[in-house]
Amino acid sequence: MTPTPTPDSSHATALSTQAEDMLQRFRAGDLRALGRLLTLVENQHAQAGAALTRLYPSAGQAYRVGLTGAPGAGKSTLVSRIAGAWAAAGRSVAVLAMDPTSPFTGGALLGDRIRFQSPQAEGGAKPVFFRSAASRGHTGGLAKTTEEMSVVLEAFGYERLLIESVGVGQVGLDIAEACDTTVVIVVPESGDDIQALKAGLLEIADILVVNKCDRPGARALMTQLHEALHYRTHAQKGAWQVEVLLTCGHTGEGLEELGAQIERHRAHLLEHVGSERIRRERLRRALLNLVREELRVAAAEAFAAGRLPDGRALEPLLDQVLGGQSDPFAVARDTVRRLFAQGDT
Amino acid sequence: MTPTPTPDSSHATALSTQAEDMLQRFRAGDLRALGRLLTLVENQHAQAGAALTRLYPSAGQAYRVGLTGAPGAGKSTLVSRIAGAWAAAGRSVAVLAMDPTSPFTGGALLGDRIRFQSPQAEGGAKPVFFRSAASRGHTGGLAKTTEEMSVVLEAFGYERLLIESVGVGQVGLDIAEACDTTVVIVVPESGDDIQALKAGLLEIADILVVNKCDRPGARALMTQLHEALHYRTHAQKGAWQVEVLLTCGHTGEGLEELGAQIERHRAHLLEHVGSERIRRERLRRALLNLVREELRVAAAEAFAAGRLPDGRALEPLLDQVLGGQSDPFAVARDTVRRLFAQGDT
């Protein structure tokens, strides 16, 4: 049925001398080489795939924590605080702030935003590496870019990654899939659209945080969240219990407890899932996202070349649909069936 | 290179007696049959594909206007007003409010929201059909569901569709691709995250609306938007000029001008693009989105069955990656290359 798999080394060797040099400096711990490699990956440079293939064996050892929440929830302050606390405890920490912006400008309009104040390295604290990155807008792209940049940061040797993104629909899910622990941040406010956005986020939370807890409505929101969580707590024994924490990013209230809860979730995963299985399942999710993104891109390329993915010419099929002899739903089903049936044999 | 295409009639005949009956009542103008057919499509019922294939020849004649904007921008009020004005002018209007909510609950937490007050049918005004629908979370799903439900509404005979959705990243783009005219709504407020969300929306706007224009900062926002638009106005001659309008949904201020601007954009498209080309390009975009969604689903199904899309067994490949003999980026590229190379021949 399925052929015996063979190791896949395609694209693995094609690195330019310049990129080889960059990789060498990267391995020597050069932060500028790290930055340039991240840019290479972010911009989907032709050398990025080969570089990632080279780096991958050194990656996968970091613990990844995702922070996501509605716009204006105070994510960057919390991220900065958590990263600072980890650094103060002697851990090497990298922060990746993903910006799901325009598919056209690639975030150009935001180019002059400076989001992070790097926490002062005081006492024995290591400096935290901060990087913000724009995805190319579509969500598949976000999952791929997040995974790729995380691999680069892990290969550089960071023990902890903190990945931040606006959590809206698929974007939050992408972050959750890339991470081991997902913290969802909400704030007391009104608006049913905002409620709608929150609903999707509840599902991905390992830890729920009501931030800006000095605002009116914080306790009421906490109650609402507990009620909403109740629906998903028919869980099996030994399952993780999602807690709702109150924090105030600016005063620091509740941040110590948030840090402790992240450690508890990590310990829970290690005990109940185990580090090998954690890594395998994270890889499985990442691979599915990467495959989907490659399929997405390949489908667009086929269309741009005037073909369906299965190789049939596009324009005559459009004529048929417009002439009433076919319909787009049947054409889409048929092209994927043809493609996957070929792959199945 | 590419085989001669043949009309595609797969899946076209398999309708149950019950579904046939529903279709017959639908064609007789039964609103309950319309509602049930929309639910069939929304829930991805097994009969949905066949039903859509049957309905498609009657669709494609409506003019589609998309309304999108950040959470809390006042979209539903504007939608209600525009729909009411069209109805008062004797047009048959359907409103589709798309909810990009949780991939897990499918919006169950929001089940009790009643968003719309149907405008009173006064004088000769026809009643407006309102429908809100949850997508299954992932954005490809939103594009597919929007297209499918729009086709059902068009086949029922509505002349105008008004499609509303929270406009965040890919979601706004999906709506824009499904529509002929896209109205983007923003409101004066603060927060750089919110700015980030807006950036993506500017690119898809045919008409920009600053709503809640009685708030402080409305004029300043208008100026900012004009500046941002300036970047994309190196456009060719005869290109549509995006205008920024001020509205206040609750008082009705600026709504007449918004209605007029929508008609102007429609006339512009008909003059400069032509109705046949409009339909063909909309079909091309819809088909690409449908193909991508089918690919996305098929990839997940393959993974769930323990295979890569090209048929290779998944677990041994995961072993290889975890053992350092391969990496997920190379595996993803390779599986898509295998798949599409087969399709290419």
Interface of A with B in 168-187 (CB under 8 A): 168-171, 173
Mean pLDDT of B292-318: 94
Residue A171 has pLDDT above 90, yes or no: no
Please name the member of B283, B313, B342 whose beta carbon is closest to the beta carbon of A322. Answer: B283
Please name the member of B115, B199, B334 whose beta carbon is closest to the beta carbon of A10. Answer: B334
Mean pLDDT of B255-271: 96
Provide the pLDDT for residue B172: 73
CB contact (8 A) between residue A197 and residue B166:
yes
Q: Domain spanning B60-290: which CATH class is it, in words? A: alpha beta
Indicate the range of A113-122, A335-344, B237-246, B306-315 predicted with least confidence. Answer: A113-122
pLDDT band at B342 (very low <50, low <70, confident <90, very high): low
Mean pLDDT of B214-235: 77
Please name the member of B8, B57, B332 whose beta carbon is closest to the beta carbon of A294. Answer: B332
CA A151 to CA A145: how far, in whole Å? 10
pLDDT, greater one: B284 or A120: B284
Q: Are B308 and A8 in contact (CB under 8 A)?
A: no
- Looking at chain A, which residue has its C-alpha nearest residue B277? A322
CB contact (8 A) between residue B318 and residue A280:
yes
pLDDT, greater one: A120 or B99: B99
Find chain A residues with C-beta within 8 A of B139's C-beta.
138-139, 169-170
CB contact (8 A) between residue A8 and residue B334:
yes
Provide the pLDDT for residue A223: 84
Q: CB distance from B200 to chain A under 8 Å? A: yes
Provide the pLDDT for residue A224: 80
Burial (CB count <10 Å: 0-12, 13-18, 19+), residue A88: middle
Provide the pLDDT for residue B268: 95
Find chain B residues with C-beta within 8 A of A295's C-beta.
292, 295-296, 299, 309, 336, 339
A-B CB pairs within 8 A amount to 353
Non-local (6+) Cβ contacts of A20 within 8 A are none
CA A304 to CA A89: how far, in whole Å? 52
Q: CB distance from B228 to chain A under 8 Å? A: yes
Interface of A with B in 80-139 (CB under 8 A): 99-105, 107, 109-110, 113, 115, 137-139
Domain ranges of chain B: 13-58, 60-290, 306-344
CB contact (8 A) between residue B200 and residue A101:
yes
Fold of A59-104+113-290: Rossmann fold (3.40.50)
pLDDT band at B37 (very low <50, low <70, confident <90, very high): very high
Q: How many CB atoms lie within 10 A of CB B26?
A: 23
* Euclidean distance between the first and the last CA atom of chain A, given in angstroms as a whole number: 7
What distance in Å separates residue B132's CA from the closest CA in chain A? Answer: 13
CB contact (8 A) between residue A334 and residue B194:
no
Mean pLDDT of B108-130: 50
Residue A107 has pLDDT above 50, yes or no: no
Residues above pLDDT 70, as percent of chain B: 78
Indicate the range of A128-132, A148-152, B119-123 predicted with least confidence. Answer: B119-123
Non-local (6+) Cβ contacts of A1 within 8 A are B311
Q: Read off the DSSP letter of residue A57.
A: G
pLDDT band at B236 (very low <50, low <70, confident <90, very high): low
Model's pTM, two decimal places? 0.80
Residue B335 has pLDDT above 60, yes or no: yes
Q: Are B6 and A324 in contact (CB under 8 A)?
A: no
Residues above pLDDT 70, as percent of chain A: 78
Provide the pLDDT for residue B326: 92
pLDDT, greater one: B233 or B32: B32
Interface probe for B, chosen from A8, A11, A282 (most Cβ of B below 10 Å), is A8
**Across all residues in chain A, what is the average pLDDT?**
81
CA B259 to CA B266: how far, in whole Å? 11
Please name the member of B73, B283, B328 whose beta carbon is closest to the beta carbon of A328. Answer: B283
Provide the pLDDT for residue A170: 65
Q: A181 - beta bridge partners?
A: A65
Q: CB-side exposure of A122: number of CA atoms within 13 Å?
A: 5
Indicate the range of A7-11, A265-269, B62-66 predicted with least confidence. Answer: A7-11
CA B236 to CA B233: how far, in whole Å? 8
Q: Read off the DSSP letter of residue A268.
A: H
Query: What does the pLDDT look like over B41-88, one tens digit per residue?
Result: 888 888 898 899 999 989 988 999 999 887 778 888 899 999 999 999
Max CA pair span of chain A: 74
Provide the pLDDT for residue A318: 96
